[in-house]
Amino acid sequence: MIREAQKCFSELKCSFKITLGPTQGWRTLAKLAVRGTPPAIGLFAPGTHKVLPMTTCRAHHPSINVAVNLITKICLKLNVPGYDGVNPGGLSYIMFAVERNTRKVQLSLIWNSPDLISCQPFLDQLITALLAISSQQVSSIISSKKSKKSNKKNRKKISEMNNEQRDNSTESITETHPLWHSIWAHPNPGMNLINICSFLFIFIIFR
């Protein structure tokens, strides 16, 4: 599209200025599906409702990548049930929103259940584990990601710069702030995410 626009303006002998934003770590909002037990957390494969697990994404803000990695491990450890796509019950979606100033994550847990009581005992266990996450655990994930990056060869210079900026921004949140801005739980048996704001939140964590 950009090339076509450049060609068009070139033929008209007009200038066409292009401003390119960050290519990595720019997405501060994300919604991932949760399916099956043990749960798979990620995106649907094209044209299906099969979830492809995803613990990291170059487009995601680094805080979201850290959060997804930790939540995936906790859900697997606790054997939190994911929605099976047919029967009521189970964690169906997880939504992430990053507060830009603090780089903390607002987390929303969407359950395919009629009420919060039906989400127990897994909801309480999950939130307790999320609140118990230490800065050491977050730092461990960051160090692991750095180690993997250091083994890659023949990178382009611009990619190295983007990776360095992303790592540095992640370090700042783990050293000076908790990972979570707030944690919300929404029972939503109808699977209509437009209605989730009408439900009462269960937990909110302030700095």
Provide the domain count of the chain. 1
Nearest 5°: phi and psi at 109? -105, 115
What's the whole-model pTM score? 0.70
192 alpha-carbon distance from chain centroid: 20
CA distance 106 to 119: 20
> Is residue 75 in some structural domain?
yes
Instruction: Give the domain range for residue 56.
Output: 21-198
pLDDT at 170: 36
Q: In this structure, what is the dihedral angle of CA atoms 58, 106, 186, 36, given to the nearest 10 degrees?
A: 30
> Is residue 206 in some structural domain?
no
> Is residue 173 in some structural domain?
yes
Nearest 5°: phi and psi at 205? -115, 125
Residue-wise DSSP of 164-197: HHHHHHHHHHHHHS-SEEEEEEEE-TT--GGGGG
Which residues are within 8 A (CB) of 172 and not within 5 positions of it... i.e. 6 or more apart?
103
3 state SS for 44-86: ECCCCCCEEECCCCCCECHHHHHHHHHHHHHHHHHCCCEECCC
Q: Residues 126-180: pLDDT tens digits?
A: 999 998 887 777 777 666 666 555 545 444 433 443 444 334 333 333 344 478 8
> Is residue 3 in some structural domain?
no
pLDDT at 156: 43
> Is residue 207 in some structural domain?
no
CA distance 180 to 49: 29
> Is residue 7 in some structural domain?
no
pLDDT at 147: 56
Chain-wide mean pLDDT for the chain?
A: 78
DSSP 119: G
CA distance 207 to 199: 23
Strand 91-99 and strand 104-111: the pairing is antiparallel
**Exposed, middle or buried by CB within 10 Å (0-12, 13-18, 19+), for 45?**
exposed
CA distance 51 to 44: 4
Q: What is the mean pLDDT of residues 22-35?
A: 93
Q: What is the mean pLDDT of residues 37-64?
A: 93
Q: How confident is the model at residue 40 (pLDDT cuts 50, 70, 90)?
A: very high
* Helices of type H across 79-156: 122-131, 135-150
Cα of first residue to Cα of last residue in the chain, in angstroms, is 44
> Is residue 15 in some structural domain?
no
CATH number for the domain harbouring residue 47: 2.40.50
> Is residue 2 in some structural domain?
no
